[in-house]
Amino acid sequence: MKTKYLEMPLQSNGDVYHLNLHPDELADTVILVGDPNRVPIVSAKFDLIEVKKQNREMVTHTGIYKNKRISVLSTGMGTDNMDIVLNELDALANIDLCKRIPKETHQSLNLVRLGTCGSLQPDIKLNTYIASAYSLGMDGLLHYYQHDTLLKEEEITAEFVSKTNWKSPPLPEPYAVSASETLLKKIAFDMQKGITLTASGFYAPQCRVLRLPLGMADFAEKLIHAKSKGLSFTNMEMESSALYALSKLLGHQALTICVVIANRPNKTFSEKYHEAIDTLINQVLDRLT
């Protein structure tokens, strides 16, 4: 039991350690947001809120929207946080927390991330919704787990490496993973779809320069007009590769939809993206029911 405790510590009340949740406090459909302040914006639209829990930047509200039970949870920023969130969501669904062993029956969660991003293509307008048909990870997280090479979309990865002259090492080996086709058809059927890059940080990993020079040339501009599988490399953010990769490995359905708040090639920024996010929240909630 000591070894199992070290592998998966719990709160003193039996809740999973970081999310501070008990299995019955989680719905099987979860909206993921980065910003903790966005959780009450989503849950304010619920007809009933059953649960409000928080630990650090992880805030969870679970309630009822049009007769459907939904949880909304903040992940914070980055693939490292997403690693914690995905493993603990899966533990809530698929591990007996008393015995700390997997349950005999697997439960698949529907995980929909709503976020913001920067466009990589000059023709994508601000406040556009982009559904990530694929996420290309520049973070390396997947490689810490055993995984079948079939999980990775080699065609997309090869195109990215070729266009950007990506060097790994010293940079992490990129990987691409597909979204849930079920969620794409259910929620994003009328939205723009593309290949989303997931960076391991906000500044140099996304080609931003303040005082420190880039170790890798501005690879983002090399992807303008580049395509793979008929899709453009549309946008860049910091969470989706971990969400997609771990969801595939753990048997969950995952989809990211982002509002474009910046156009990187045009150097423009949206002043009214909060309105676009609110409209997206309404649309996604209705389509989940």
| Residues spanned by the domain of 238 | 2-288
Q: 161: domain CATH number?
A: 3.40.50.1580
pLDDT at 5: 61
pLDDT at 131: 98
pLDDT at 1: 44
Contacts 24+ apart (CB under 8 A), 8-17: 8/91, 8/95, 8/100, 10/97, 14/97, 14/98, 15/53, 16/88, 16/91, 16/92, 16/97, 17/88
What is the number of alpha carbons within 13 Å of residue 185 lying toward its C-beta?
A: 3
pLDDT at 150: 57
pLDDT at 4: 59
pLDDT at 217: 85
Number of domains in the chain: 1
pTM of the model: 0.95
Q: Which residues of the chain have pLDDT under 70?
A: 1-6, 149-151
